[in-house]
Every structure is written in structure tokens, then in C-alpha cells.
Structure 1
Amino acid sequence: MKRLVYLVHRWTGVAVCVLIALWLFSGIVMLFVGYPRLLPAERLGAMPQLSSASCCVPVEAALRHSPAPQAVQQLTLTHIAGRPGYRIKEGDGALRVVDAVTGAPAPPVDEALALRSAQAFVPGFPGAVVGRTHDDRWTHSGLLDAHRPLIQVQMQDPARTLLYVSSTTGEVVMDAPRRQRYWNFVGAWLHWVYMFREGSKDPSWSWLVIGLSAVGTLSALAGALAGIWRWRFRGSYRNGSRTPYREFHMRWHHLAGMVFGPVLLLWIFSGLMSMNPLGMFNPSARPDAKAMQQRMPGQLQPRIETRAALALLEGAGFGARELEWKLLGGQPYLLARDAQGASRLVREEGGAWQVHESFTAQQLEQPARALFDAGVVRSDWLRKHDAYYLRRGEASMYAGAARELPVLRLQFDDPGRTLAYLSPHSGELVLSVDRAQRLGRWLFNFLHSWDLPWMLRPAAARDAALIALSLGSLALALTGVVLGYRRLRLATGRG
């Protein structure tokens, strides 16, 4: 049995030792440089303020251009290429844009419009369209599917930013500065083995990563057992040491494994869990956001014109960059966001339209009960981030997720005992996690990233600890690379 464990560790280690070393090195890079994404603050900060003096035609004029207005899922007033426009998301997920000044459908997106959009995003610098892509190494996100193919615009700003413009709406949907792109070749792109991924949905890539992670986990587990069996916890070997190995690389592989082996094992295992193998962390039931809204934005709009709503926001001292038509419990309202991502609500109360900062708990909880066909067993305000609702740093893969406080937390009595988090500032369901998803959170996020709220607050201390453990684990992996190379030479008769 022990011999079998030694052989498993030896040959699985030969197979994945180089990959594990690359995973560890790229993981250190990912602490500081994330995969390219367009953060909400970047997108909103690049837009001019919406003005009631120059904007806009009534929203009904925009909906006339929808083939099925009653089925419209999302309706947003935004800026595209520096010009206000209504972005409409149809019932089938397709996007269309209506000019908010003229009320006419926006023309098809060509390279000239893409260039104007890019220059409005990075003003003061020239740029050039360098091509179109349906998918490349920086654009695997499924959130970009409705915008494909993407038009690439290379800007001549100091950061040498590569912008991706939607061929559907003309919006900038991704920015990738040169520094971020270069570091990602040895960061997230390498860590996630994206050189083998095609498109936002690639089962072959998923199973490749699952297979490699499983082999790495097996190798680390077998190595941990072998290391413990060979360690003298009492007494010592003839060489006076607790390890029997005298040769430099073998000795330090054993020593590093006894210290850093458990950490490496947990990191590889949690990386495997990140892929949700066999859908083991899929929720038992998904929240019904439409039931919470009761109607769709295309079915019922607030009885206030766009120009009047913008005037109300200006009177309240709020510079709206974007305006979205929303519903909560069948009651229409407008959600405005400024350049920093802060929000205001324009809703009717007492027969008059007013600007509010948030909903009350009662206004949120009553419609939210329709999210699941189950009762609410607990409702409370969360004023500090908990283990599931937390804010990560800009380099994190979750950097774009809004995690504002306070938030209303509801516990449902469904089979998955789902926790739902509702934002009083937007009236939206921000996050829901059932029992399976919470398990996945512990087996992946916690073991892989050490991301409990109290761990994230002293960012420098957490980064230093993760770097130290990564370097120790990297020493373990690199000595394994040397031993694996020697073993292959012996196996092929060259050693």
C-alpha cells in the first residue's frame, strides 16, 4: 500500500509539477493584478452628466421601436459615444439602442462610431480600430455575449489601453491597459489555463482544468502521506536528521513538504472546487426576481417624464450619469447612478415624485417574499459584511460586485435555507446563497483566498502571509520539478 502511494506521488508529480509551480507563481501575481474587466466606477466615471436641459425624449418614444414592448426586461438611459441613448434589453436578451435626443433608432455600429465611443471613454488621446474579435484571451466573460463580436480600439494614452466596443450598442464594454495585459500572461490568464479556452462556454476547457486539478490534488495528498511516513517524529536517522534524505533537492522537497504541503494541498483542492465539478454547488432553487418585481419595465413605467426626473435629481444636488427604469412589488421607480456609483431613487410617495436615498425594510421585504415559494424565517439589517456578503479588492475576480451596506438579509424556509441580500439603495436582489452554494463558498473561496471579512481588512498583512506561503509552496514545487526531471531521465535511460 505504501509503495503504491509512493508511485502515485512520483508519477502524478512528474505529470503536474511544472503546472503547480506556475499556478503558485501566477497566484502571487493575481494578488495585485486582476483579469481585465470594466468596473462600474470606470464605466460611469467616463460618462458626462445627464442634463434635463438637453435630454430627453419620453421613454415611451423609445419603446415604440421595440418589437415586443411588454416583454422588455431592462430599460436604461445612458451615454454612448458621448451622446445620450436608451438601451433596451428585449425579452430574448437582445439589445437595441434608441437615440434619446431624436427618438430615432441608433444606426448600426461601425468603426467610426466605435472610435468615437472609445475617445469619449479615454478623452484627449487618439486611437485606432485594430480589428474585430468574437472572443480572445481577455474577453471570455459570458457578460459580453450580447455584445459580440467586439470591436478592438487601441488608444494612444500613456497606459496604452486596449478597448473593446460592443458591435450591438456601441458602448465600451471592456478596457485592458497594456500593463494589465502583460502581467496577465503570467497572472490570471496563465493561472486559469486560458490558452486552452474557447469562448464563454467551453466544456472541454472546464473538464481539462478539473482533470488537472484532480491529478494535482491526488499528487499532493499522496505526497503528504509519503512525507509523514518518512518523517521521524521520535529520534532521528543515522544522518542525525528527521528526514532520511541527504541529497539537496530530495531533502528540501521533504522539509518543504512537511511545512507547506498542507497549504499546497488545500490550494489545489480548492482550485478544483472552483470549477463546481458535476454541478455539486448548484442551488436547489433559483430566486424569482420577476415575481419580486411583479411586472416588467416595458409593461409599466413611472408616471414622470425623463426630463422632469432629471430635473428633480439636479435639484437634489445629484449628478446622474445613468438612469434605469425599475419595478418593486408592482410599483415603478427610477434608479439613478452618479460617477462614483452612488445611487438615488426617484419614486412616487403621497402623490408626488421625490428623490430618496433608499427603501425602508418594509418596502423591500414584502415584495421580496415572492422570491421563493417558502416563508421568511428571519429578517435583519446587515451593517457589517458577513462570510457570504463581502467586498473584495480591485484585483479580485469579484471586484465588480456591489457590496454596499447596509443590506437587508432574509432567511427563507426553502429546502436550501437560502439567504437573500437586498439593497435598500437600489431595490435589487444583490446576492442569494443556498446551502450548496454556501458549502462551495467555504471549499473554494475561503480555502483558496482566505477572504473572511476580518482577513480582508488588514490587506497588507493578508497579502504578506499569502506571499510567504506561496513562496514556501513554490520551493516545494520547484524541487519537485528537479526530481521529476531526474526521474524522467532515469526512466528513458538517459540518467
Structure 2
Amino acid sequence: MQLAFWVRRAHKWIGLVIGVQALLWMISGLYMVVVPLEVIHGDHLAHVPTERLNPSATRITQARLHETYPGINSVSMKSLLGKEVYEIKQGQQTSLVDATSGKKISPLDRDQIVALADAAYVGEGSIKGVEWVTKAPKEVGSRPVPLWAVHYDEPGETTLYFSPHTGDLVARRHELWRWFDFLWMFHIMDYEERENVNNTLLRTASITGLLFALSGAWLLFYSFNRKKQA
């Protein structure tokens, strides 16, 4: 049958084209299943310590805070290295202000970041370098710069990224995360940003894979029918 000949040929060539990508889908999918997501996120390497706020009698009022720093959109209070601080937002800018003196303490310096990293890190390595980052590396995505990067001397090559404006731990990166990111690139077939799960290349590969499955199913039923007729 002429139709069966062409379906068989199409099935073979589609299989050759889609086979490599299907293998990459399976390898990357296996990695995502085997390695727990909380490990990928680095929860076992660093956590944000919870510090209870102790009300201070000498704390400046928010009214005075607004007078000193006009144009404040929002104010929140938190503990930073055992001290009460206000986190204020003025337009797109976020700053930290000492709750007792009213003095702005951000951007945080290297020593303060090292202290924050020591409080957050629960791994077994030691700090091998602290870097002021003004151009965001791919592994932190679209997080705003500048950032402080604290690098650790351990097999996982852990790096903790802190905001100098808020003191927040904004990203944990290590080798298992980097392997995940590398395999994720192949899984979604976005070889530039590694974020777009609805790109043309992925849709094309998915449709091609569907055609491969449908042609294979057709050939299977066709072979059964031929056996019955024989």
C-alpha cells in the first residue's frame, strides 16, 4: 500500500529528527524528578534567621521618619544583625534606616554583608571571596543590581547573593542549581534566556513528536489489520 510506505518513511525520518530532543527531555526530566526542588533552591545551604523585634523606647517615630526622608511610599520594620531598622521605599528606591538614630545605613558595606552571610549560611564551607556585582550574571536572572555575592569554598561552589539596599538574601546558587538550569535550557528549548516555555522551537518539537507518535500508532493498527486479512 502506497500510503503505508510513505507513513513508514515519514515515521522513520521524524524519529531521527526528534530522537535526540526526546532523549534530552527524558534526561532533564529525570534530573528534575531525582533531585528535590528544595535542594535545587538551596534551602539546605542557607536560611534567613528569624529575629524577634524588641520594642525600643528610643525608637524614632514614623512621623519624624517622614519629615527626614520626604516622599516615602511605605515603611516596614525588621531586625538586621540584632538591631531594629526601618525599611523605607521612596519611589523605586529602597533604603534601610537605623530605628534609633534615624541614620540611613544602606547600602550595606562588605563587613555587614559578611555578617549577614555568616548568620544565613548553614553549609560546611568557608568564605573564599566577596564580590560587588554591578552586572547581573545569568544565574540571578532579572534581579536588580548592584548585589553582593558571597562565594564559599566547598564542593558545591555555593554563592549567596544579598541586596545592599535591603540586606535580603535574594538568591542561593550552587552546582546542583546550575546543572538544573543547564538541563532546563534543553528541556524547554530556550537557549538564550532559559525562561520562555512557550517558544516557537519548543512548539515545533512538540508537534513533531506528536506526529511521530500518531504515525507510529497508525502503522501499528495497519500491521494488525494486514495480519487479520492474511
TM-score range, shorter chain: 0.7 to 0.9
Q: Secondary structure at the match of 1:411?
A: strand
Q: Give a deviation string over 1:18-63, Cα, whole Å, max 9, x none.
A: xxxxxxxxxxxxxxxxxxxxxxxxxxxxxxxxxxxxxxxxxxxxxx
Show structure 2 runs of 5+ residues with no match.
Answer: none
Q: Secondary structure at the match of 1:327?
A: strand
2: CA distance between counterparts of 1:473 and 1:254? 17
Equivalent residue runs for 1:101-140 within 5 Å = none
**Which residue, out of 121, 137, 140, partners 1:386?**
137
Q: Partner of 1:279 in structure 2?
A: 36
**Contact map agreement 1:379 1:409 (CA 8 A) in 2:** yes
**Contact map agreement 1:343 1:357 (CA 8 A) in 2:** no
2: CA distance between counterparts of 1:426 and 1:278? 31
Q: Secondary structure at the match of 2:65?
A: helix
Show structure 1 runs of 5+ residues with no match.
Answer: 1-244, 392-402
Equivalent residue runs for 1:149-160 within 5 Å = none
Change (3 A) 1:280 1:389: closer
CA shift, 1:263, in A, is: 2.4
2: CA distance between counterparts of 1:449 and 1:304? 51
1: CA distance between counterparts of 2:83 and 2:25? 47
Change (3 A) 1:432 1:330: same
2: CA distance between counterparts of 1:408 and 1:491? 65
> Among the aligned pairs, what percent are the same residue?
19
CA shift, 1:363, in A, is: 2.4
Change (3 A) 1:287 1:299: farther
1: CA distance between counterparts of 2:201 and 2:223? 33
CA shift, 1:337, in A, is: 4.0
Equivalent residue runs for 1:82-93 within 5 Å = none
**Contact map agreement 1:312 1:355 (CA 8 A) in 2:** no
Q: Partner of 2:102 in structure 1?
A: 353
1:325 aligns with 2:77: yes
CA shift, 1:487, in A, is: 1.5
**Contact map agreement 1:252 1:476 (CA 8 A) in 2:** no
Equivalent pairs, count: 221
1: CA distance between counterparts of 2:52 and 2:180? 34
**Which residue, out of 199, 203, 208, partners 1:475?**
208
CA shift, 1:356, in A, is: 6.1
1:424 aligns with 2:180: no
Change (3 A) 1:436 1:278: closer
Give the alignment's TM-score, normalised by structure 1: 0.38
Q: Partner of 1:107 in structure 2?
A: none
Equivalent residue runs for 1:355-370 within 5 Å = 355=104, 358-370=107-119
Q: Partner of 1:261 in structure 2?
A: 19
Q: Give a deviation string over 1:152-203, Cα, whole Å, max 9, x none.
A: xxxxxxxxxxxxxxxxxxxxxxxxxxxxxxxxxxxxxxxxxxxxxxxxxxxx
AA at the equivalent of 2:213:
G
**Contact map agreement 1:375 1:413 (CA 8 A) in 2:** yes
Q: Partner of 2:193 in structure 1?
A: 456
Q: Partner of 1:409 in structure 2?
A: 149
Give the alignment's TM-score, normalised by structure 2: 0.74
Q: Partner of 1:305 in structure 2?
A: 61
Change (3 A) 1:473 1:261: farther
Change (3 A) 1:463 1:296: closer
AA at the equivalent of 1:388:
E
